[in-house]
């Protein structure tokens, strides 16, 4: 029963993250990229403070606590830099493509990219990773290259390139977390990276963007959703849900955020894709799911393997 409830909580988490793409799409109509991200991430970082006080206890050994705190700050700054880049590309991509659905599916590619990048770090991968990557690449082809009448145009749009780079930097972000995950206070780390990311966004926004208070007021609901629900509430739900859930099932359920992003785009924003686009989304989604599975033949993870299902702090949308 506990496991069933946990999976339900994780499904709610995926829904919140998925519909956050809709909020980002709506916010992009009123507020520039860096201003939008700055406000939502500072809200997200502050919203985690009560969660930290409730869930996270400091190390009783003073020396270990000091070292862990230093590592947490360092990791938070490095991850915050990667988060700043990934989230800026994501918000810019959604602004250019005007599609929450496409953005959600392209972002989901990070699940496949992470273990592939891990190869260059001396990690090993399983068969399912390569199968998932193959399906994801074919899905990208249908989503970005194949036209509505199934004609092929090799002109890939600027927005598609931005969205792919967004997935790449989410993968980098996860690998940074993987490097430090056993040596940090995870919740404090999350709050630090969000606040540092917000500071970077405000610095860039101060130089390159001009935002009136009226623009922020018009985007207030999307900003609050992304800052409080997508980070504070959803992150707390992820922690609670993963306590009693099987890691494989948890990762698969959390991967459905791309599906909910597309559903939200259709229901709320009335977005429509071409038939090849839908085929591409299905293939990408299938690749993401397969990359999370453990085949019987590979029931024991490869030594030193990198997998997003072992990382609990990677979903910071």
91 in any annotated domain: yes
Q: Which residues of 294-315 are buried (b: 16+ CB within 10 A; e: fewer)?
A: eeeeeeeeeeebbbbbebbbbb
Checking if the pLDDT of 317 tops 60, the result is: no
- Would you state the pLDDT for residue 73? 96
76 in any annotated domain: yes
- Would you state the pLDDT for residue 313? 41
- Range(s) of the domain holding residue 294: 2-310
Highest mean pLDDT: which of 82-91, 168-177, 253-262, 295-304? 82-91
pLDDT category, 197, cuts 50, 70, 90? very high
Of 133-142, 189-198, 254-263, 289-298, which gets the smallest average pLDDT? Answer: 289-298
What percent of the chain shows pLDDT beyond 90? 53
315 in any annotated domain: no
316 in any annotated domain: no
Q: Is 208 exposed, middle or buried (0-12, 13-18, 19+ CB in 10 A)?
A: exposed
- Would you state the pLDDT for residue 310? 45
Q: What is the pTM of this model?
A: 0.87
What percent of the chain shows pLDDT beyond 70? 91
Give the pLDDT mean for 117-135. Answer: 84
What confidence tens digit (pLDDT) does each residue in 228-247 have?
999 888 888 887 887 777 76
251 in any annotated domain: yes
Question: How many domains does the structure of the chain reveal?
Answer: 1
- Would you state the pLDDT for residue 149? 81
- Would you state the pLDDT for residue 283? 93
pLDDT category, 209, cuts 50, 70, 90? very high
pLDDT category, 316, cuts 50, 70, 90? low
**Using an 8 Å Cβ cutoff, are 146 and 280 in contact?**
yes
> Rounded to an integer, what distance in angstroms lies between the CA atom of residue 143 and that of residue 156?
10
317 in any annotated domain: no
pLDDT category, 309, cuts 50, 70, 90? very low
- Would you state the pLDDT for residue 312? 42
143 φ, ψ (degrees, to nearest 5) = -75, -35
Q: Which residues are bridge partners to 146 per DSSP? A: 152
């Amino acid at each position: 029963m506990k496991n069933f409830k946990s999976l339900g909580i994780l499904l709610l988490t995926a829904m919140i993250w998925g519909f956050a793409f809709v909020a980002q799409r709506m916010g992009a109509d009123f507020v520039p990229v860096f201003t939008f991200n700055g406000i939502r991430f500072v809200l997200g970082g502050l919203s985690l403070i009560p969660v930290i006080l409730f869930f996270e206890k400091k190390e009783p050994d003073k020396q270990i606590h000091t070292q862990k705190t230093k590592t947490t700050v360092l990791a938070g700054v490095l991850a915050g830099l990667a988060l700043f880049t990934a989230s800026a590309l994501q918000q810019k991509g959604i602004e250019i493509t005007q599609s929450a659905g496409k953005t959600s599916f392209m972002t989901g590619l990070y699940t496949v990219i992470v273990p592939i990048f891990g190869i260059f770090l001396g990690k090993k991968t399983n068969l399912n990773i390569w199968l998932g990557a193959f399906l994801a690449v074919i899905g990208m082809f249908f989503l970005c290259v194949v036209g509505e009448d199934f004609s092929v145009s090799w002109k890939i749009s600027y927005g598609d390139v931005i969205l792919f780079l967004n997935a790449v930097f989410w993968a980098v972000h996860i690998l940074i977390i993987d490097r430090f995950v056993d040596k940090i206070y995870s919740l404090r780390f999350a709050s630090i990276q969000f606040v540092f990311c917000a500071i970077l966004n405000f610095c860039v926004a101060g130089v390159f963007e001009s935002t009136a208070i009226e623009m922020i007021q018009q985007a207030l609901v999307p900003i609050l959703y992304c800052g409080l629900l997508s980070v504070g509430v959803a992150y707390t739900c992820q922690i609670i849900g993963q306590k009693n859930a099987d890691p494989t099932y948890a990762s698969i359920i959390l991967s459905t955020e791309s599906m909910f992003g597309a559903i939200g785009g259709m229901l709320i924003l009335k977005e429509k894709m071409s038939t090849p686009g839908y085929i591409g989304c299905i293939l990408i989604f299938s690749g993401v799911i397969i990359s999370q599975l453990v085949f019987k033949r590979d029931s024991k993870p490869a030594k030193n393997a990198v997998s997003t299902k072992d990382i609990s702090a990677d979903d910071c949308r």
